[in-house]
Structure 1
Amino acid sequence: MESWKAWLLLVAAGMLETGWAVGLKYTAGFTRLWPSLWTGLAMAASMFLLAVAIKKLPIGTAYPVWVGIGALGTALFGMAFLDEPVTWSRSLFLILLVLSIVGLKMSS
């Protein structure tokens, strides 16, 4: 697999991580069937894509990038759709997170 394909898989895995993290909110502690099922499927798909991507990418780069994409997406979703606060400090740290993700990509 080419490196750029591994990066695309990693980005997709990170987006799925956002999906399952947000999905947890709707499972009500895994007591609601359909949200729980979709959340579980997103978890499995996210882990699978991460596992495929790390065949080509260093784990010390891929894992933090995966977590960062998931954390960033989850925070942005919360602010956009769940009325979570948008503050200057929160925005600053999300920008720092993006810079960290980009820095890890550029250094590998």
Structure 2
Amino acid sequence: MAWLLLVVAAAMELVWATALKQSDGLTRLGPSLVALPVSLLSVVVLSLALRELPVGTAYAVWVGLGAFGVAVAGIVALGESVSLPRLAFLALILVGVIGLRAVDG
């Protein structure tokens, strides 16, 4: 259950970070009203996962999956640049997350 919570928290990171981009420095009310509470909720869900998971593993996975998700959302939805090296480094993030899951079960 802790790993599921961690993935949910990382998905929320994708939501709040993307909304933060859309908020234009918290000057647009709608995206700001999404970014701020979802960021807090993401941390709350992370804290629930930390009841069972080591902090180093959980935090690395939370940040890694969040960063991966935001980068992919930037490419797919926001028209950010895509290149083979960028995709390779994003794949390395996933390899790291999978590796942490494998060793910390």
Alignment TM-score > 0.5, same fold = yes
Q: CA deviation at 1:96?
A: 0.6
- Structure 1 CA distance for aligned equivalents of residues 87 and 31 of structure 2: 29
Map of 1:100 onto structure 2: 96
- Structure 2 CA distance for aligned equivalents of residues 41 and 84 of structure 1: 26
Map of 2:13 onto structure 1: 17
- SS in structure 2 of the partner of residue 107 of structure 1: helix
- CA RMSD in angstroms comes to 0.7
Count of residue correspondences: 104
- Which of the residues 34, 38, 42 maps onto 2:38? 42
Task: Provide structure 1 residue ranges, at least 5 long, that are not aligned to the other structure.
Answer: none
- Give TM-score scaled by structure 2 length: 0.96
- SS in structure 2 of the partner of residue 29 of structure 1: coil
- Structure 1 CA distance for aligned equivalents of residues 24 and 83 of structure 2: 28
Residue-by-residue CA offset, 1:43-63 (whole Å, 9 max, x unaligned): 011000000000100001000
Percent of residue pairs identical: 44
